[in-house]
């Protein structure tokens, strides 16, 4: 029985053994952070163009991984200059007081081959909430890409106050999709 358990454990670890590298450096121009929401029933999307990450992720040893992502909220691109200006303002992100949003992972659990469940703290506009994001890993040469998504409620972070606090024009649910390309480092 003990042998079987050992074999099973080994079998689980084997697929990851080829990727025993620690990914530390974000390749910003190959990475993206997109978001989606509904406006008057219409699916809309946008992205952030400036973000940084402090990483130390070895896909073979997720328990030891560390990840902290910071987004420069003023870099939002909603596809409309008028909207970009609006959401930087006090009622939305209030970027003058809260220029950055952050996500700090505190647990990365493997849930399958190259698939993980990343739990962490999302902080926006001085408010924090715990989120869980499913993510997958794929490697290509020295580069490793982490892909995942999660959703949150904008009301939990007071994103859209005053006349925007109702969800009749802009829905409460926000979807975030990230594609973080990283480089293995020593």
Tell me if 171 contacts other proteins by CB under 8 A: no
Tell me if 44 contacts other proteins by CB under 8 A: yes
Q: Which helix (H) or strand (E) holds 86?
A: helix 81-88
Beta bridge partners of 176: 35, 150
Candidate list 82, 130, 140, 186; residue touching other proteins; CB under 8 A = 82
Closest CB to other proteins among 75 and 114? 75
Candidate list 39, 49, 61, 138; residue touching other proteins; CB under 8 A = 39
CA angle 44, 74, 70 (to 5 degrees): 95
Q: How many residues bind other proteins (CB under 8 A)?
A: 17
Closest CB to other proteins among 82 and 130? 82
- Report d(CA 24, CA 42) in Å as an integer: 38
Listed in sequence order, the residues at least 6 apart from 39 whose beta carbon sits closer than 8 Å to its beta carbon are 169, 170, 171
Unique residue bearing structure tokens 């939990």: 156
Candidate list 40, 63, 97, 140; residue touching other proteins; CB under 8 A = 40
Tell me if 79 contacts other proteins by CB under 8 A: yes
């Amino acid at each position: 029985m003990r042998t079987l358990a050992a074999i099973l454990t080994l079998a689980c670890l084997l697929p990851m053994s080829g990727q025993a590298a620690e990914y530390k450096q974000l390749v910003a121009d190959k990475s993206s952070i997109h978001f989606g929401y509904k406006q008057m029933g219409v699916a809309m999307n946008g992205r952030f163009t400036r973000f940084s990450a402090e990483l130390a992720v070895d896909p073979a040893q997720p328990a030891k991984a560390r990840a902290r992502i910071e987004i420069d909220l003023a870099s939002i691109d909603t596809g409309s200059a008028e909207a970009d200006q609006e959401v930087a303002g006090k009622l939305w992100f209030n970027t003058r007081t809260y220029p950055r949003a952050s996500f700090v992972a505190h647990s990365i659990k493997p849930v399958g081959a190259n698939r993980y469940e990343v739990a962490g703290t999302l902080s926006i506009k001085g408010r924090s909430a715990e989120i869980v994001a499913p993510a997958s890993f794929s490697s290509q040469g020295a580069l490793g890409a982490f892909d995942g998504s999660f959703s949150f409620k904008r009301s939990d972070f007071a994103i859209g106050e005053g006349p925007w606090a109702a969800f009749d024009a802009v829905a409460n649910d926000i979807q975030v999709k990230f594609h973080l390309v990283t480089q293995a480092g020593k």
